[in-house]
Amino acid sequence: MDFFNQDLTSLHADLVAKKISAAELTQATFDNMAKTDAKVDAFLNLNADAALKNAQAIDAKGINADNLLAGIPVGVKDNIVTKGLTTTAASKMLENFVPVYNATVVDKMLANDMVIVGKTNMDEFAMGGSTENSAFKVTKNPWDVSRVPGGSSGGSAVAVASGQVPVAYGSDTGGSIRQPASFNGIVGMKPTYGRVSRWGLIAFGSSLDQIGPMTRTVKDNAAALNLIAGNDVHDGTSSKRAVPDFTAGLTGDIKGMKIALPKEYMGDGIDPKVREVIQNAVKQFEDLGATVEEVSLPHSRYGVSAYYIIASSEASSNLQRFDGIRYGFRAQDVKNLEDVYVRSRSEGFGDEVKRRIMLGTFSLSAGYYDAYFHKAGQVRTMIIDDFNKVFNDYDLIIGPTAPTPAFKIGDEISDPITMYMNDVLTIPVNLAGLPGMSIPAGLADGMPVGLQLIGKSFDESTLYKAGYAFEQATDFHQATPDLGGTN
Amino acid sequence: MAEERINAEQVKHVAELAKLEFTPDQLELFTGQLEKIIGMFEELSTVDTTGVPVTSRVSDRQNALRDDVAVQSNQRQALLANAPETAEGLIRVPTIIDESGDGE
In this predicted model, what pLDDT tens digit does every residue of A458-476 receive, in sequence order? 999 999 999 999 999 999 9
Q: How far apart are CA A239 and CA A263, in angstroms?
A: 32
**Ramachandran assignment for A324, one of left (phi > 0), alpha (psi -120 to 50 degrees), beta (any other):** left
| pLDDT grade for B102, boundaries at 50, 70 and 90 | low
Which has the closest alpha carbon to A26: A158, A119, A134, A118? A118
| pLDDT grade for B72, boundaries at 50, 70 and 90 | confident
Average pLDDT over residues A238-246: 97
Nearby residues of A204 by Cβ (< 8 Å), 6 or more positions away: A79, A125, A126, A127, A171, A173, A311, A314, A315, A318
Nearest CA in chain A to B12: A358
- Residue A483's pLDDT is 85
Please name the member of A309, A326, A343 whose beta carbon is closest to the beta carbon of B41. A309
Chain A contact probe: residue of B38, B74, B77, B90 with most A CBs at under 10 A: B38
> What 3-state class would DSSP assign to A102?
coil
Architecture of domain A8-256: Alpha-Beta Complex (3.90)
Output the CA angle A193-B42-A432, nearest 5 degrees: 15
Q: Does B41 touch chain A (CB under 8 A)?
A: yes
Active site residue A21: no
Output the CA angle A218-A221-A222, nearest 5 degrees: 90
Percent of chain A predicted with pLDDT > 90? 96
The answer to whether the CB atoms of B33 and A416 lie below 8 A apart is yes
- Residue B101's pLDDT is 57
Average pLDDT over residues A176-205: 98
Domain boundaries, chain B: 1-46
Asked whether residue A271 carries a pLDDT value surpassing 50, the answer given is: yes
Chain A contact probe: residue of B41, B48, B68 with most A CBs at under 10 A: B41
Nearby residues of A124 by Cβ (< 8 Å), 6 or more positions away: A89, A90, A91, A133, A134, A135, A349, A350, A352, A353
Please name the member of B53, B79, B93 whose beta carbon is closest to the beta carbon of A325. B93
Which range among A109-113, A202-206, A372-376, B60-64 shows the weakest confidence by mean pLDDT? B60-64
Neighbours of A38 (CB within 10 A): 8
Chain A contact probe: residue of B1, B13, B25, B60 with most A CBs at under 10 A: B60
Neighbours of A182 (CB within 10 A): 32
- Residue B100's pLDDT is 61
- Segment A45-64, tens digit of pLDDT: 999 999 999 999 999 999 99
Asked whether residue B103 carries a pLDDT value surpassing 60, the answer given is: no
Which parts of A365-450 fold into alpha helices (H)? 375-391, 416-421, 427-432
Name the burial class of residue A414, with classes exposed (0-12), middle (13-18) and buried (19+) by CB atoms within 10 angstroms of its CB: exposed
| Peptide bond before residue A296 is cis, with ω within 30 degrees of 0 | no
Question: Would you say A129 and A162 are in contact if contact means Cβ atoms under 8 Å apart?
Answer: no
Distance from CA of B41 to the nearest CA of A (A): 5
- Residue A481's pLDDT is 94
Average pLDDT over residues A266-291: 97
* Cα separation values, A397 from A126, A244, A260, A400, A402, Å: 26, 21, 5, 10, 15
Average pLDDT over residues A297-313: 97
Q: Does A372 touch chain B (CB under 8 A)?
A: yes
- Helix A22-40 and helix A48-61, axial crossing angle in degrees, nearest 10: 150
- Segment A83-131, tens digit of pLDDT: 999 999 999 999 999 999 999 999 999 999 999 999 999 999 999 999 9
Chain A residues whose CB is inside 8 A of the B55 CB are 377-378, 380-381, 384, 431
Q: Does B70 touch chain A (CB under 8 A)?
A: no
Domain boundaries, chain A: 8-256
Amino acid at A30: F
Chain A contact probe: residue of B20, B36, B68, B77 with most A CBs at under 10 A: B20
Asked whether residue B2 carries a pLDDT value surpassing 90, the answer given is: no
Asked whether residue B35 carries a pLDDT value surpassing 70, the answer given is: yes
Q: Does A269 touch chain B (CB under 8 A)?
A: no
Please name the member of B19, B44, B63 whose beta carbon is closest to the beta carbon of A379. B44
Which range among A176-185, A191-200, B73-82 shows the weakest confidence by mean pLDDT? B73-82
Which has the closest alpha carbon to A402: A421, A415, A428, A387? A421
Q: How far apart are CA A23 and CA A21, in angstroms?
A: 5
Please name the member of B30, B52, B63 whose beta carbon is closest to the beta carbon of A381. B52
Q: Mean pLDDT of all residues in chain A?
A: 97
Active site residue A176: yes
| pLDDT grade for A78, boundaries at 50, 70 and 90 | very high
Average pLDDT over residues A66-82: 98
- Segment B39-60, tens digit of pLDDT: 999 999 999 999 999 999 999 9
Question: Would you say A77 and A122 are in contact if contact means Cβ atoms under 8 Å apart?
Answer: yes
Asked whether residue A149 carries a pLDDT value surpassing 90, the answer given is: yes
Nearest CA in chain A to B39: A305
Q: How far apart are CA A120 and CA A150, in angstroms?
A: 13
Question: Would you say A22 and A53 are in contact if contact means Cβ atoms under 8 Å apart?
Answer: no
User: Around B79, how many Cα atoms within 13 Å sit in the side-chain half-sphere?
Assistant: 9
Given the residues A21, A91, A176, A457, select the one marked as catalytic: A176
- Give chain A's length: 487
Asked whether residue A313 carries a pLDDT value surpassing 80, the answer given is: yes
Distance from CA of B69 to the nearest CA of A (A): 13
- Give chain B's length: 104
Q: Does A241 touch chain B (CB under 8 A)?
A: yes
For domain B1-46, say whether CATH 1.10.20 is its number.
Answer: yes
Asked whether residue A487 carries a pLDDT value surpassing 90, the answer given is: no
- Residue B1's pLDDT is 43
The secondary structure element, H or E, covering residue A194 is none
Q: Does A374 touch chain B (CB under 8 A)?
A: yes
> What 3-state class would DSSP assign to A175?
coil
The secondary structure element, H or E, covering residue A442 is strand A436-444
Active site residue A152: yes
Given the residues A130, A134, A152, A197, select the one marked as catalytic: A152
- Residue A1's pLDDT is 84
- Residue B4's pLDDT is 65
Chain A residues whose CB is inside 8 A of the B49 CB are 375, 378-379, 382
- Residue B58's pLDDT is 95
The answer to whether the CB atoms of B37 and A339 lie below 8 A apart is no
By DSSP bridging, strand A210-215 and strand A167-172 are antiparallel
Q: Does B51 touch chain A (CB under 8 A)?
A: no
Q: How far apart are CA A85 and CA A63, in angstroms?
A: 25
Q: Does A242 touch chain B (CB under 8 A)?
A: no
Chain A residues whose CB is inside 8 A of the B98 CB are 335-336
**CA pseudo-torsion sign A169, A174, A176, A181:** positive
- Segment A338-360, tens digit of pLDDT: 999 999 999 999 999 999 999 99
The secondary structure element, H or E, covering residue A94 is none
Pairs of CB atoms within 8 A across A/B: 179
| pLDDT grade for B99, boundaries at 50, 70 and 90 | low
